[in-house]
Amino acid sequence: MRTHKFLILVVLLALVLGACTPVATEVPTEVVTEAPTEVVTEAPTEVATEVPTAVPTEAGPLPEGVANILTINLTPGLKWSDGTELTAKDLVGTYNIYWLQKASVWTYLKDVVAVDDYTVEFWISNPSPRALRLILRANQPAPYSQYSKWMDEAAKMRADGKAADSDEGKALLDDLYAFKPETLVVYGPYVIDTEGVTEAQLELLKNPTGYNADKVAFEKVLLYYGETAASVPLVLSNEIDYSTHGYTPSDVEQFQTMENIKILTGPTGTGPGLWFNQNVYPLNKKEVRQAFAYIINREENATVAMGPAGRAIEYEAGFTDLQVDAWLTDETRNALNKYETDWTKAEELLTGIGFTKNADGKWLDDTGTLIDIELWVPADFADYLGAAENAAQQLNAFGITTTVRGYPSAERATTQKEGKYDILVDLSIYYNPPHPFTSFNYYLNTPRNAPEATDGNLGMNWSWKQVGPDGAEVYIPDLLTAASTGFDFEAQKPAINTLARIVNEELPVLAMFERYSTDVVNEGTRVIGWRPFEDQIYQNNQADLYIAIQLLNGELKVSDTGDGTFHTIYPYPQPPNYDLNIFTTSSLPSLCGNPSYNLMFPPLFYYMWASAEYVPAVAASYSLR
């Protein structure tokens, strides 16, 4: 069976935590997881504009209920840090635990089967680009030597036809979460020194038997604890070699005074927007939402919030501008309203539905009530907060009374679900896995938009019954299904084009800007060997982390002034509020961020965004039929 390089569209997404874009890293599924200072904007942003259709590697009968079989071939001889070999038993066992956890990957799977010690078949019942992303890139194997008890019991439950949420399954899962191992078992070239974890820092020490351990140049990785604000003085004192934090324009200005610091900016596939609560009058009126789009200058909003790291959304297609040409027809693209700033058009829309201004220049709705809006925003996300404050300033200048209401980001999920906001500042661009469905599904589907919910948690409450561009009624969940089912992307395009037209017209969410990274790279203090910043590897950004690839391949070397340590920073769980169980939500290794997690548990494959293909890392190859 020949290896098939499955191609899918290209756009970048990174995890940016701290005071930056709040997207989960790709860590084990559901444990929720790449001269004067130069702002490097030359990193290639060209993306594949042709979305190819996957063709099975070979024809042949498939088991009943199975649409495709994805076969992964592991590399023989790779050792865990406890001396055992990484085999199919580890990978299949991991998926048995994911089944027990009711992880989302099992919505796409019928079975996971070990063919031999190094070959695993994934029987896919529900083909989707997300299925490939989860299996090939996002999910890493766990050690059978440490989790065999739960892997075997979950496998037996599956074989016996028992449900994961049965009493037996719940008891087994509780037992798994109660497991607090004293040691961490990894297959990467680094492992946490669990005896030396403090509130200020931890160290990853060389694992001599790990993947590419003979290639990596650094004896240890020093991981400082810190959000964005805490990292700035460390960057300024040359204590950081690499950081994924989202720095403000003023931070970048400080870094520009340093000869050896560069800021890499590349598209992340994420960005904030305004979510309009349809339960709040008059935000349920399309004309009001469109007026907001004409009022707010998105270029200004992006610049104020992120400086060169913010790029205003042009098309309002519902997903990143960088993939509009790949997915939308010329007819659709030309029909999209770009909502270029125009206060005259905004006034016409509002007066056209009976709105007026009072003597103070404030807008009243058609009942004569003052329009008074709150923008709810996670106050600890600096880019979101900056976007909200600027949007409020522009709306107030127009005469729409607007205030900013900050709340803790820890309450995001509850706030989204309950829908008790007026306008919520949250993700409007979300592109991982790289497919328009990801963005559409994030804000149009449950739990963030649940207009048919019976428990009162309606979220945004934007109706799923809409009118398509041809005048016919459509049902949004049906379009979302059609936009994401199977590996034939051409067949998905009609639904995606319809969704883009509806979202552009209705504006349930007004996308403000796409966030570009502000990754700090320190050249020369401790590390040399960075690829030129024009290299296509930087298109991967943090989603398929370019830094981890260069570290693991041994491209990065110790400088003449280096001490063999690589320094980075991330807000890892503070002691004693963590454990070493990689399946819990308090897992220290899973929450160490980029690049640290990837150095302990490298992915089976990386997705190379420039060439639009999955390439082997820990695994040897894969094929699809």
pLDDT in tens, 242-290: 999 888 888 988 998 999 999 988 788 899 999 999 999 999 999 999 9
CA distances from 229 to 19, 54, 234, 236, 250 (A): 8, 44, 10, 12, 12
Query: Does the pLDDT of residue 118 top 80, yes or no?
Result: yes
Distances (CA, A) of 466 to 339, 456, 474, 499, 538: 21, 21, 5, 10, 39
74, 128, 219, 352 from 135: Cα distances, Å: 13, 11, 31, 52
Q: Quick check: 39 pLDDT over 80? A: no
What average pLDDT does range 80-105 have in this prediction?
97
Q: Which of 362, 369, 373 is nearest to 398 (CA)?
A: 362
| Other Cβ atoms within 10 Å of 77 Cβ, number | 8
Instruction: Please name the residues in contact with 411: beta carbons below 8 A apart, sequence gap of 6 or more.
Output: none
Residues 359, 362, 364, 369, CA torsion sign: negative
What is the rounded CA–CA span in Å between residue 589 and residue 573? 9
Q: Measure the CA–CA gap between 167 and 382, rounded to whole angstroms.
A: 44
Average pLDDT over residues 93-105: 97
- 242 phi and psi, to 5 degrees? -155, 135
Closest by Cα among 286, 283, 320 to 440: 320
Distance set, CA 342 to CA 19, 275, 284, 296, 394 (Å)? 31, 21, 21, 9, 12
- Residue 16: which residues within 8 A CB-CB, separation 6 or more? 22, 23, 244, 245, 246, 268, 270, 515, 517, 542
CA distances from 432 to 96, 137, 282 (A): 24, 11, 33
Q: Which two tokens stand for residue 420?
A: 């008790």
Q: How far apart are CA 504 and CA 373, in angstroms?
A: 22
Summarize pLDDT for 170-205 with one digit per residue, the tens.
999 999 999 999 999 999 999 999 999 999 999 999
Closest CA to 475 of 499, 443, 453: 499
d(Cα 325, Cα 333) in Å, to the nearest integer? 8
Place of tokens 């440490």: 146
Report the half-sphere exposure of 594 (CA within 13 A, side-chain side): 29
Across the chain, mean pLDDT equals 89
Structure tokens at 289: 């939402």
How much is the pLDDT for 433? 75
- Would strands 423-430 and 372-378 be described as parallel, antiparallel, or unpaired? parallel
The two tokens of residue 599 are: 């150095």
- Type of residue numbered 342: D
Determine the pLDDT at residue 59.
53
Q: pLDDT tens digits for 558-584?
A: 999 999 999 999 999 999 999 999 999
What tokens were used for 407? 């709340």
Q: Which residues contact 286 (CB under 8 A, 6 or more apart)?
A: 505, 506, 507
State how far the Cα of 568 lies from the Cα of 571, in Å rounded to an integer.
Answer: 11
Residue 309 main-chain phi, psi, to 5 deg? -90, 5
Q: How far apart are CA 562 and CA 314, in angstroms?
A: 44
Among the ranges given (101-110, 127-136, 174-183, 456-465), the one the predictor scored with the smallest mean pLDDT: 127-136
Closest by Cα among 564, 320, 565, 323 to 430: 320
| Residue 130 near residue 170, CB atoms below 8 Å | no
Question: What kind and span of H or E run contains 447?
Answer: none
Residue 410 vs residue 215, higher pLDDT: 215
* 292 HSE (CA, 13 A, CB side): 31
Interval 479-492: pLDDT, tens? 999 998 888 889 99
**What are the φ/ψ torsions at residue 395 (nearest 5 degrees)?**
-65, -40
- How far apart CA 507 and CA 501 sit, in angstroms, is 10
Strand partners, 579: 587
pLDDT digits (tens, 9 = 90+) for 296-325: 999 999 999 988 889 999 999 999 998 899
pLDDT above 60: residue 590: yes
Q: Provide the token pair at 33.
A: 């997881």
Distance CA 507, CA 275 (A): 9
Give the tokens for residue 176.
């798994």
**What phi and psi values does residue 5 have, to the nearest 5 degrees?**
-85, 100
- Model confidence over 129-168: pLDDT tens digits? 889 999 999 999 999 999 999 999 999 999 999 999 999 9
Question: Is 186:205 a contact under the CB 8 Å cutoff?
Answer: no
Residue 595 pLDDT exceeds 70 = yes
The pTM is what? Answer: 0.76
Backbone phi, psi, residue 249, to 5°: -55, -35
Helix (H) or strand (E) holding 487: none
